[in-house]
Amino acid sequence: MNIVRMKPALLWLLFFLWQTAPRPAAAPVHLRYQRSVNLAPVPAGTQTGTQIGTQTCAVLDAPVFPHAAPSLRDLRLFTGPPGSQTELAYATTLSESQQQESEDARIFNLGLRNGHILFDLEMPHRPYTGLTLDLAARDFIATALVSGSDLPGGKTTPLGAFTLFDLTSQHLARGTSIPLPESVFPYLHLDLALTPEPRAASSTASLPSPSIVRSVTVPPSRDAQTVYVTSQQTADLTQLPGQTVATFQLPLRVPVERIAFLLKPGYAGEFSRTVHIDAQSLSTGDPSASRDESVTGTIFRVDRTEAGQHLSAQTLSIPVAIGSNMQRPANLRVAVQNGPGLPLPLAAVQLQMRQRRICFEAPASDTPLTLYYGDSALEAPAYSYASRFQSVPVPRLAALGPETPNPAFRPRADSSKITDRHPDLLWVSFLAAICTVALIAIHAAKRRD
| 378 shares a domain with 400 | yes
Q: Categorize the per-residue pLDDT at 281 as very low, low, confident or very high, splitting at 50, 70 and 90.
A: confident
Biggest alpha carbon distance in the chain? 108
- Give domain status of residue 193, yes or no: yes
> How high is the pLDDT of residue 202?
53
Range in 95-99, 331-335, 367-371 with the lowest mean pLDDT: 95-99
| 195 shares a domain with 164 | yes
Q: What is the mean pLDDT of residues 3-10?
A: 48
| 369 shares a domain with 304 | no
The residue that leads in pLDDT, 431 or 413, is: 413
- Give domain status of residue 61, yes or no: yes
Q: Taking Cα atoms as reference points, which of 332, 368, 446 lies closest to residue 85?
A: 368
Domain boundary among 208, 224, 240: 224
| 235 shares a domain with 208 | no
| 109 shares a domain with 220 | yes
Range in 37-51, 320-334, 395-409 with the lowest mean pLDDT: 37-51
Range in 132-136, 167-171, 403-407 with the lowest mean pLDDT: 167-171
| 250 shares a domain with 187 | no
Spatial separation of the C-alpha atoms in residues 139 and 197, rounded to whole Å = 5
Cross-strand partners of 278: 294, 333
Q: Categorize the per-residue pLDDT at 9 as very low, low, confident or very high, splitting at 50, 70 and 90.
A: low
| 47 shares a domain with 139 | no
Q: What is the mean pLDDT of residues 336-352?
A: 93
Convert the pLDDT of each residue in 58-77 to its tens digit. Answer: 999 999 999 999 999 999 99
> How high is the pLDDT of residue 291?
67
Convert the pLDDT of each residue in 180-234 to its tens digit. Answer: 988 999 999 999 999 888 776 554 445 678 999 999 999 887 655 688 999 999 9
Convert the pLDDT of each residue in 397-419 to its tens digit. Answer: 999 999 999 999 999 886 555 44
Q: Taking Cα atoms as reference points, which of 78, 76, 85 lies closest to residue 382?
A: 76
> How high is the pLDDT of residue 184?
92
Contact status, residue 68 vs residue 75, Cβ threshold 8 Å: yes
Convert the pLDDT of each residue in 225-280 to its tens digit. Answer: 688 999 999 999 999 999 999 999 988 889 999 999 999 998 989 899 999 999 98
- Give domain status of residue 45, yes or no: yes
| 65 shares a domain with 41 | yes
> How high is the pLDDT of residue 389?
93
Helices 2-19 and 424-448 pack at an angle, to 10 degrees, of 170
Q: What is the DSSP letter of 50?
A: T
Q: State how many domains the chain has.
A: 4
State the residue range of the domain holding 219: 103-224
Residue 355 has pLDDT above 80, yes or no: yes
- Give domain status of residue 18, yes or no: no
